[in-house]
Structures are given as C-alpha cells and as structure tokens.
Amino acid sequence: MDEGRAYIETGILEQYVTGQLTAEERYEVEAMAAKDPEVKQEIASIELTLEKYAMAGARQPRELLRDEILNKILSKPLEVNTESIKPAHEAAIVPLQTKAYETKIKRLYIALIACAVLLIISIAALFSTREKLGNAKNEIIALNLDREKFATEASYLKESNSDLQKIDEITSSPDWKTVKLAGTKMDPKAKMTVYWHPGGQHVMVDNSKMQLPINDQQHQYQLWALVNGKPVDLGVFDVKADSAHILLKMKEIAGAQAFAVTLEKRGGSVGPTMDQMIVMGAVGI
C-alpha cells in the first residue's frame, strides 16, 4: 500500500473537512495534499459528499424573509478589512471526481444485502434439513420395526412349514406311532398327541393339537413314559398359545406301554404327582 492511500485510510481527511483538527494538523494535511494528488482528490470527494448531504437537508426560505434579508444586505455597504484577512495558504482548485467513491459505497451496499439474503436462505435451509432428517429418522425406525416383524413372521412360517412337513411324514410313515392322550378327572376336556419312533427312540409332542390349560410361572407340564409299570421322565414343557414351534422334541425312549402328563413344579419332579395327572394314553399295538 502506498503512502497516500495509507494516509487516507487513517480518517484524518474527514476530520480536516469537518474542522476538527488543530492548526498544526491542518497544515500537515494541506502539505500532504499538495504532495499527493490522490489525497487532494479524496479531500474534494469528502467535501462534495458533505455538501450533498447538507443540500439534501436544506429548507427553502419563505419569499418575504428572503426579500427582507436581501434588502438589508443591499442597503448597507459591505465593509471588509482586507488587512485582517490573511489566508494561511493559497487556495487550490481541486477537480471533483466522486464516481469512484459512489461506486465503492454502492458495491458495499449490494454486498450487505447479498449477505443478509444468504443468511436468511441458510437459516431456512437449516430448518428444512433438520425437519427432513427427523422425518427420515422416524421412517428408518419404522422400516426397521417392519423388517424385524417380517423376519420374525418369516422365521415362524418357515419353522411352521417345516414342522407341518415333518408331521405329514410322521403320520404317513409306519415307523412312527401316533399316541393320543385323553383327559383325566383333573380336566376331562384336555387332550394332546405324542409321536413316538420306537426304532429311533424319538418322541415328539404336537403343539398344534394340544388342548391343555396354560400353566403359570411356578409350574410346568411333565411328560412321562410308562415302561414295565414304572414312570420314566421325558422332559418338561410349557403350554403357549403363540408358540413358534408346532413340534416339541422330548427325551428319547426305547420302549413304552403308555404316555402321561402331570402338572409339576417348574423344572419337573423325580416322580409324577398322581393327583396332578391331566392326560394319559396307551400305545397301540
């Protein structure tokens, strides 16, 4: 940056034009203006700007008042003491060039408006984006829930279909025995079906054909096989209306004359509680 431009940007020229400087400071400014044309042009530009501002706020005097002032001036000769007027410096005519200054102000004004508009647009975009992100998040959560639900249902249908195919194979195979267990005095309407494969020793309970009262959290049903007059534990199970499995795999047994179910404490018992026997069925020959 040159010396003249740096001097202009100090703000001293505005103080000079508005009469705020001391005599010594004014002399310094005038010396700088005489040396640097850019400083001189800036002074003229500031004076023109102030003149325009003053003219914009000026008021036209009334016709009568204007005439009175002119008559008083013209009726009295003007006395001027030329000796008391000693100019501090020789007046210089400075060309008035304000186009560059006005262009600078106009550009700053346009830039300010553009910044304000950009700020408003950015705020609006921010709120819009935030709202869209919230909606997208809710949609993702809903989609995940639907996906999990679909996966669960698909898994249930797959397992159910597999169990149905297995039941069809069991009931059509001569190697499997279907044992129907009927209700006792404890619950005459109770019933269930047991599939038993003597050769493979497999025992399966058909949950779809099970009609037993739903047990509570302190009790479970326990399946027994009657082997040569002695009960053999085949495991415990719960009755669930929404069970994901149709076939329940129980403990294996090689030989049995009958099957029975009792209601026992959770985890099962070493021996059956006879007064809690709910269903029983003999194995057909």
**Please, where are the H alpha helices in the chain?**
3-8, 12-17, 23-35, 37-57, 63-75, 99-172
* Interatomic CA distance for residues 152 and 130, integer angstroms: 33
Order of strands, sheet of 230-237, starting from the edge strand that comes earlier in the sequence: 230-237, 219-227, 258-265, 277-282, 177-183, 191-197, 202-211, 247-249
Token digits of residue 220: 């479970």
Q: How far apart are CA 54 and CA 258, in angstroms?
A: 120
Entry pTM: 0.45
CA atoms within 13 A on the CB side of 270: 0
* Per-position pLDDT tens, the chain of length 285: 578 888 888 889 889 988 899 999 999 999 999 999 999 999 999 888 887 777 766 566 566 666 666 666 566 555 545 554 455 455 455 454 555 656 767 677 677 787 887 888 888 888 788 888 888 878 788 777 767 655 555 454 445 567 778 888 998 899 999 999 999 999 999 999 999 999 999 999 998 889 999 999 999 999 999 999 999 999 999 997 555 678 999 999 999 999 999 999 999 999 999 999 999 999 986
Residues 163 and 206: their CA atoms lie apart, in Å, by 9
Residue partners of 30: CB distance under 8 A and separation at least 6 = 89
